[in-house]
Amino acid sequence: MTFSHPWVLLLAAIPLALAVWEVRRTGHRVALPFDHHTLRRARVVPKLLLAANLLPSALLLAAIALIAGPKGLGPPGQERVLTNIELCLDVSGSMSSPMSSSPDGASRYKTAMAAIDHFTRQRPGDAMGLTIFGGSVVRWCPLTRDTSAIRNATPFLDPETLPSALSSTRVGNALRFCNGVLAELPDGDRLIVLLTDGFSSDLGGGQSTIVGNELSANGVVVYAIHVGDGAPPAQLSEVVAPTGGEVFSATNLDSLTSVFDHIGRMHKVRIKQSQRESIDFFLPFAASGLGLLSLYVLSLLGLRYTPW
Q: Spell out the per-residue pLDDT of the chain, length 308, in tens.
A: 788 888 888 998 998 998 888 888 776 666 666 555 554 455 676 777 778 888 888 999 999 988 988 887 766 555 556 788 999 999 998 898 888 776 677 899 999 999 999 999 888 878 899 999 998 999 999 999 888 889 898 889 988 888 887 888 999 999 999 999 998 887 778 999 999 987 888 898 899 999 999 999 999 999 999 998 888 889 999 999 999 999 999 888 898 999 998 888 876 655 555 566 677 888 888 899 899 888 888 887 765 545 44
Q: For the chain, which residues make up each domain, given as ranges? A: 2-74+278-299, 79-272
Of residues 270, 207, 290, 302, the one with CA closest to residue 79 = 270
CB-facing half-sphere around the CA of 148: CA atoms within 13 A: 1
Q: Are strands 137-144 and 83-90 parallel, antiparallel or unpaired?
A: unpaired
pLDDT of 307 reads 47
pLDDT for 37: 56
- The CATH topology of domain 79-272 is Rossmann fold (3.40.50)
Query: In three state form, how does the secondary structure of 255-271 look?
Result: HHHHHHHHHHHHCCCEE
Output the pLDDT for position 308.
44
Which residues lie closer than 8 Å to 213 by C-beta, 6 or more apart?
Answer: 242
Q: Taking the C-alpha atoms of 262, 264, 267 and 271 in order, what is their torsion angle to the nearest 10 degrees?
A: -140
- pLDDT, position 269: 56
